[in-house]
Amino acid sequence: MRINFEERAGSLVAAGGIIWAARVATQNTSSLWDFSITQPGPLEVCALGIMVWLHAKWRRSIKV
């Protein structure tokens, strides 16, 4: 996989996770005061995107 594609895909997945988390958090505004997002999916998607993006940055740093 090309490094540029991996960077872009990782950042898009992380952005999608953030948007999904914001949507879930704002569906029930009373849960905003408790800081409890009941669905575990959005945070894992965001973390996965960040990990893919960091892996691409690591690959770029070791490239000779």
Is the predicted pLDDT of residue 21 greater than 70, yes or no? yes
Is the predicted pLDDT of residue 22 greater than 80, yes or no? yes
| % of the chain exceeding 90 in pLDDT | 59
Instruction: Give residue 55's domain range.
Output: 3-62
Number of compact structural domains in the chain: 1
Query: What's the average model confidence in pLDDT over 33-48?
Result: 78
Report the C-alpha gap between 24 and 2 in whole angstroms.
33
pLDDT at 36: 61
Report the C-alpha gap between 19 and 5 in whole angstroms.
21
- State which H helix or E strand residue 9 sits in: helix 3-27
pLDDT at 34: 65
**The pTM is what?**
0.80
Report the C-alpha gap between 37 and 42 in whole angstroms.
9
